[in-house]
Amino acid sequence: MPDDGPDAVTSTDRRLVLATRNAHKVVELAEILADVLAQVRLELVGMDVFPEVADVVEDGASFAANALLKARAVAAATGLPALADDSGLSVDILGGSPGIFSARWSGRADLTGTAKDRANLDLLLAQLADVRDEHRGAGFVCAAALVLPDGTARVREGHFRGTLTRSPRGDNGFGYDPILLVEGDTRTSAELSPAEKNAISHRGKAFRALAGDLRELLGP
């Protein structure tokens, strides 16, 4: 199938575009949605296939708004159905913050990758240092959006609850994974295997909730 942008899209093009340039996220989501992708005969691809399409500024006021911003922009630019998500950590005692600001909570624009993740995490732990264990409830939230080229849109949410530890544990996750003690478990999110995490994570739940929409709207 052609890979040179929206001008090449045809009615037989069975690609579904995930609004990310992170190849790891494409692989992860392909695993989460493996059954439904096979049923509707869709190939999941990332934005690396469309290098000419600009990244979208996530300036919405909610996870759902940001997910829709990205999916709508990608669907319009590529002429293909698009998936996008936005997620973050919601801390009860902080009224839901960091929320949509999770990825930039520390304000350290000079940092990227794991360094930025650690700065965000360290700041949050410092802010909660005097909060008793019984008040450290928190959870990850994910909004996943599906948008078709004709503007049809669906949004689903997933939640992954737990409590915040006082120091990081585990090497399998990223972001705030090392400090979220999974509800009903003795491990943090970063101590779960990828398969275990996909089965119960906010992202897995949100996208699996979209499976019915994919069947309904994109089935052959």
User: Which residues are catalytic, by number?
Assistant: 86
The distance of Cα 182 from the centroid of its chain, to the nearest Å, equals 18
Determine the Cα–Cα distance for residues 197 and 65; give it in Å rounded to an integer: 25
Burial profile 1-21: b = 16 or more Cβ within 10 angstroms, e = fewer: eeeeeeeebeeebbbbbbbbe
- What is the token pair recorded at 181? 């003690």
Determine the Cα–Cα distance for residues 101 and 156; give it in Å rounded to an integer: 20
Contacts of 218 by beta carbon, 8 Å cutoff, 6+ apart: 16, 40, 42, 81, 148
Determine the Cα–Cα distance for residues 204 and 15; give it in Å rounded to an integer: 20
